[in-house]
């Protein structure tokens, strides 16, 4: 598998996922500060010109959550996704989809200073609803699905980690801060986020 990556990007999350799975991969560093996401070669792989991008044989997977979901299913023996068709799978999907689909667009507008939008029409409602969602979804102890760490924690926990780091989440509650600390304590997280790694 080829993992198109940049150490200063969301691709650290998919790299972390690859390390959680101990999955063999070729790391292809794409320097977006140098136009490398705009080359015809890269755009032919991913027209969005974004990292992370995962290429597995003929399959191209883009988007952090899609890549994490794909990898969790590709290595079922690692137990990073609940069984297909189980009740837990519904909860799992919620954790996988909410960050990129709903929370991130809201924080993007917030960081651009855009506050005037119709809460009933936009997919994320408003800041208050997003913060309440984060608070409700953040586990009190352990992980998103209970005592078993899954890809849901890579996606949701990884997103909260970014949100705290970038000041999107200005005043994380004690529960959110503790969950992010648990995330950061994982060996694979530490390895993938270690600046001396590169
Ligand atoms: N929705 C995408 C976002 C990926 C993204 O925005 N990547 C940024 C770096 S964090 C990027 O590749 N920027 C380079 C560019 O747009 O040229 C995902 O979840 O993977």
Q: Does the CB atom of residue 63 touch ligand 1 within 6 A? A: yes
What residue owns the CA closest to ligand 1's atom 6?
Answer: 50
**CA of residue 146 to ligand 1 center, whole Å:** 30
**CA of residue 156 to ligand 1 center, whole Å:** 17
Residues facing 55 on adjacent strands: 2, 60
Q: Does the CB atom of residue 153 touch ligand 1 within 6 A? A: no
pTM, entire model: 0.97
Q: Does the CB atom of residue 53 touch ligand 1 within 6 A? A: no
What residue owns the CA closest to ligand 1's atom 12?
Answer: 50
Q: Return the structure tokens found at 117.
A: 């939008």
Q: Does the CB atom of residue 51 touch ligand 1 within 6 A? A: yes
**CA of residue 100 to ligand 1 center, whole Å:** 11
What residue owns the CA closest to ligand 1's atom 10?
Answer: 9
Rounded alpha-carbon distances, angstroms, from residue 79 to 12, 15, 151, 152, 189: 21, 17, 9, 12, 17
First-to-last C-alpha distance (Å) of the chain = 19
Strands (E), 43-116: 53-56, 59-62
Q: Which structural domains are found in the chain, ordered by start?
A: 2-78 (3.40.30.10), 87-190 (1.20.1050.10)
Q: Does the CB atom of residue 54 touch ligand 1 within 6 A? A: no
Residues facing 53 on adjacent strands: 4, 62
Sign of the alpha-carbon torsion through 128, 175, 68, 32: positive
**CA of residue 61 to ligand 1 center, whole Å:** 13
pLDDT tens digits in sequence order for the chain, 198 residues long? 999 999 999 999 999 999 999 999 999 999 999 999 999 999 999 999 999 999 999 999 999 999 999 999 999 999 999 999 999 999 999 999 999 999 999 999 999 999 999 999 999 999 999 999 999 999 999 999 999 999 999 999 999 999 999 999 999 999 999 999 999 999 999 999 986 654
**CA of residue 120 to ligand 1 center, whole Å:** 27
What is the rounded CA–CA span in Å between residue 102 and residue 181?
Answer: 23
Q: From edge to edge, which strands make up the β-sheet containing 53-56?
A: 26-29, 2-5, 53-56, 59-62
The reported pLDDT for the residue numbered 194 is: 82
Q: Does the CB atom of residue 50 touch ligand 1 within 6 A? A: yes
The reported pLDDT for the residue numbered 12 is: 98
With a CB cutoff of 8 Å and minimum separation 6, the contacts of 50 are 37, 62
Q: Does the CB atom of residue 99 touch ligand 1 within 6 A? A: no
């Amino acid at each position: 598998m080829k993992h198109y990556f940049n150490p200063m990007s969301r691709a650290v999350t998919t790299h972390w996922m690859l390390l959680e799975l101990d999955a063999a991969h070729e790391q292809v560093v794409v320097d977006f500060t140098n136009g490398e996401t705009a080359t015809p070669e890269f755009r032919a792989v991913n027209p969005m010109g974004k990292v992370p991008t995962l290429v597995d044989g003929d399959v191209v997977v883009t988007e952090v959550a899609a890549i994490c979901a794909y990898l969790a299913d590709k290595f079922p023996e690692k137990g990073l996704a609940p069984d297909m068709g189980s009740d837990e799978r519904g909860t799992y999907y919620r954790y996988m989809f909410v960050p990129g689909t709903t929370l991130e667009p809201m924080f993007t507008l917030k960081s651009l200073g855009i506050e005037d939008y119709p809460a009933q029409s936009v997919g994320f409602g408003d800041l208050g609803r997003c913060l309440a969602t984060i608070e409700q979804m953040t586990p009190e102890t352990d992980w998103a699905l209970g005592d078993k760490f899954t890809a849901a924690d890579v996606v949701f926990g990884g997103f909260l980690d970014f949100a705290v780091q970038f000041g999107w989440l200005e005043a994380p509650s004690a529960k959110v801060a503790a969950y992010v600390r648990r995330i950061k304590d994982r060996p694979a997280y530490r390895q993938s986020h270690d600046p001396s790694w590169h």
